[in-house]
Amino acid sequence: MTQGKTVLILGGGIGGIVAASRLRKGLSREHRVILIEREEQ
């Protein structure tokens, strides 16, 4: 059994959101994609 990896994306601007979305769609569910934004929305 392989252990999933965690991808951490710093910055929730348009680039960070697009990257997180594409990674989530492209990676299997065993991997986590975390998006961190400094500012509150």
23-37 residue pLDDT tens: 999 999 999 999 999
- The C-alpha atoms of residue 26 and residue 4 are separated, in whole angstroms, by 14
Nearest alpha carbon to residue 30 among 2, 21, 11, 16: 2
Helix (H, G, I), strand (E, B) or coil at 27: coil
- The C-alpha atoms of residue 11 and residue 30 are separated, in whole angstroms, by 23
pLDDT at 4: 94
* Per-domain boundaries in the chain: 6-36
Tokens of 36: 């961190």
Tokens of 31: 């991997």
pLDDT at 40: 76
